[in-house]
Amino acid sequence: MSWAKAIQRAREDPRLAIEVGMALARGQYYRLLFRLRGQRVVIGSGFQVTGKLDIRGPGTVIFGDRCQVISSRLAPTTPFTHAPEAVIRFGDEVLLTGTRLGCQHKIEVGNRTGLADCRVMDTDFHRPDAREGRRYDTSGGAKPILIGQNVWVGAGAMVLKGVKIGDNAVVGAGSVVIGNVPPDAVVFGNPARVIWRFPAARAKAAPEAVAAAADPAPGSR
């Protein structure tokens, strides 16, 4: 947006201008805070934060340009890494609203994607096949999660390890995604399955392709 348009919008809606200004100032505060803490956090230009952003762990978290965080103290946005080599990368204009992320290996989120109050975890955290000792003391396997551009993941959804979500897809609220989601599709349920495709994509998709898209990705369980 040009400065001329920004000034015009500020005149039309002064309250919005104040809110944006405060969000930008808070974004700068977090940029400085993470730098002073020595955390591996990279933040692009135009970063806006409303509410609480809590980043922890030894890995790297990268924000592109013009990203927004909207959350609260009771439901903060929490990109957590659990290994030095872990990387969480957000593209440009990504919106996070109370999103909780746990990363052992890699989570990538494409440009203009919105993540609601959902959970994104690229690891089991604990071994599913543990039979002896305390299961919660074991460590699980990790596989990267790739979320495309212009995706929306609804509130209460869970995106688990090894999942790839295609561009322009929608994950319905409360869904549990254990398999790949094709582009331009809407998935819903536990486990999440394709329930609808946007018209342009539906015309190109063969029925067998839609059915295959609902199958879990290998090793994602």
Reading the chain (221 residues) residue by residue, the pLDDT tens digits are: 544 554 455 556 667 778 888 999 999 999 999 999 999 999 999 999 999 999 999 999 999 999 999 999 889 999 999 999 999 999 999 999 999 999 999 999 999 999 999 999 999 877 677 667 776 766 778 899 999 999 999 999 999 999 999 999 999 999 999 999 999 999 999 999 999 998 865 555 555 444 444 444 444 44
CB atoms within 10 A of CB 181: 28
CATH 3.40.50.1820 is the classification of domain 3-213 = no
Q: Phi, psi (5° rounding) for residue 200? A: -60, -40
Q: Write the DSSP assignment of the chain as a string of letters.
A: --HHHHHHHHHH-HHHHHHHHHHHHHHHHHHHHHHHHT--EEE-TT-EEES-B--BSSSEEEE-TT-EEE--SSS-BEEEE-STT-EEEE-TT-EESS-EEEESSEEEE-TT-EE-S-EEESB-SS-TT--SS-GGGS---B--EEE-TT-EE-TT-EE-TT-EE-TT-EE-TT-EE-S-B-TTEEEETTTTEEEEE-HHHHHH--HHHHHHHTSPPTT--
Rg from Cα positions in the chain: 19
Give yes or no for a contact between 165 and 192, defined as CB atoms under 8 angstroms apart: no
pTM recorded for the entire structure: 0.83
| Two tokens, residue 8 | 């015009």
